[in-house]
Structure 1
Amino acid sequence: MKLINSIGPNPHVVRMFAAEKGIDLPKQDIDLLKGENRQPPYNTINVTGTTPALVLDNGQVICEITTISEYLEEKHPTPALIGSTPEERAETRMWTRRIDLGVLEPLTNGFRATEGRALFEPRIKLVSKEAGQELKGLAQDKLAWLDGQLGAKQYICGDRFTLADILLFCFIAFAKQVGQDLPADAKNLRAWFERVGQRPSVKA
């Protein structure tokens, strides 16, 4: 296998997931800032032009970070980062979906339309700057809601460290770099972020 890698939170999710499992993924880096992901040969490998992409030994290419993570979990089931029972897997997927739609989408689209506009405007269609600010506000609202849901739990799924934690951590780490910090009163999420940040896999 080979991971086509770049800067950004999406590849970080896969690298961290693989590191938690002890999987050594050879990497091929492409330059996102120069737009290599939107040009041949990469956009013929991954038609969406997004990163990362996992190239299997048989030449098949798997894209989308949750799908890549699911594949790695099936090939390397321990330690279980999605779940070892149908109930655990359902819980992880439920929270992963909530985080993806409620936090990650407005967070990233808000960034692209505002601070990241100069980079992304020539490449993809964006909402207005005003709408971008509103999207960032939606992400903040959902993070505040998530803080309440987290409560005193160690991780998103209770005592289990899962893909949901990895997904949220990588995107919050990115958001902090582009002016979207956690809500000031989100004490549970801040403690969770520090706790996850101590895991060696975050450096992957």
Structure 2
Amino acid sequence: MKLYQSLGPNPRVVLMYLAETGVQVDRRFVDIMAAENRQPDFCAKSPLGHTPLLELDDGGCIAESIAICEYLDETRTAHALLGATAEERAQTRMLVRIIDQQAVVPMTLAFRGAEGLPMFQPRMLCLPDAAGDLKRQAASGMAAIDKIVGIGPWIAGDRFSLADILLFSFVEFGAMVGQPLDPALTNLVAWRDRVAARPSAADSANHKQGVAEPA
């Protein structure tokens, strides 16, 4: 298998999952700043040009960070971060969907319409007029998630899961693109510090970590 990774919070989700589980895959860094992910050879593997992308040994490809992590969790780690039971896996997927809808989607759209507009406007539909409202929507979503987190320690209670990885990757991304975590969300602030203390947080911060650059 080969993982095509790049800058960005979605590739970080997969890198953090790999760091947590110890799963080893070959890796290649894709330069999205230079639009390498928009070139025909890459789009033949990922039609929307999305990173990360996992290329399987048989040539099949899986795009989207959550789908990649779920595939690895089911085939390589015996459900290390989805959950040991059907109920735990359903709970993890529920939390992932809540985080995606409440925070990830509006945060991403806001970034593309504001700080990221020069990069993304030539590549896709962006919503600069809605960027401010989308930032407020993402902040409102974070406040809702703060109530779910409660006293933790993790989003799913005592079980660290893929939901924690997804949310942490985007909380850290938000801090870099004008959408920092509100310090009044004390549950999330404490949770963020707990996740940041895990070795996988530091390991996944370097998006070229583990990549053999071509000669």
Shared fold (TM-score, shorter chain, > 0.5): yes
**Aligned partner of residue 62 in structure 1, secondary structure:** strand
1:157 is matched with: 156
Question: Deviation digits for residues 68-105 of structure 1, max 9, x if unmatched?
Answer: 11110111234620011010001000000000111000
Alignment coverage as a number of residue pairs: 203
SS in 2 for 1:84: coil
Counterpart contact for 1:21–1:79, Cα < 8 Å? no
Deviates more, 1:68-77 or 1:96-105: 68-77
State the Cα distance separating 1:28 from its structure 2 match: 0.7
Alignment check: 8 A CA contact 1:21 1:76 kept: no
Q: Which residue identity does 2:194 align to in structure 1?
A: R
Query: Which has the higher relative contact order, 1 or 2, with Cα contacts under 8 A spaced 6 or more apart?
Result: 2
| 1:51-130 equivalence runs, <5 A | 51-78=51-78, 80-127=80-127, 129-130=128-129
Q: Does structure 1 residue 170 correspond to structure 2 residue 180?
A: no
Partner of 1:188: 187
SS in structure 1 opposite 2:40?
Answer: coil
User: Please, which runs of 5 or more residues in structure 1 have no aligned partner?
Assistant: none
Aligned-pair distance for 1:155?
0.6
- Counterpart-to-counterpart distance in 1, 2:78 and 2:168: 21
**C-alpha RMSD of matched pairs (Å):** 1.0
Alpha-carbon offset, residue 27 of structure 1: 0.8
Partners of 2:6 and 2:144 in 1: CA distance:
31
Which consecutive residues of structure 2, in runs of 5 or more, have no partner in the other structure?
A: 205-215
4+ runs of 1 displaced by more than 6 Å?
A: none
How far 1:184 sits from its partner (Å)?
Answer: 2.5
TM-score, normalised to structure 2's length? 0.92
* Pairwise CA distance, 1:151: 1.2
Q: Under a length normalisation based on structure 1, what TM-score does the superposition of the two structures give?
A: 0.97
Q: What is the letter of the counterpart of residue 56 of structure 2? A: L
* 2:9 match: 9
Deviation of the 1:153 alpha carbon: 1.4
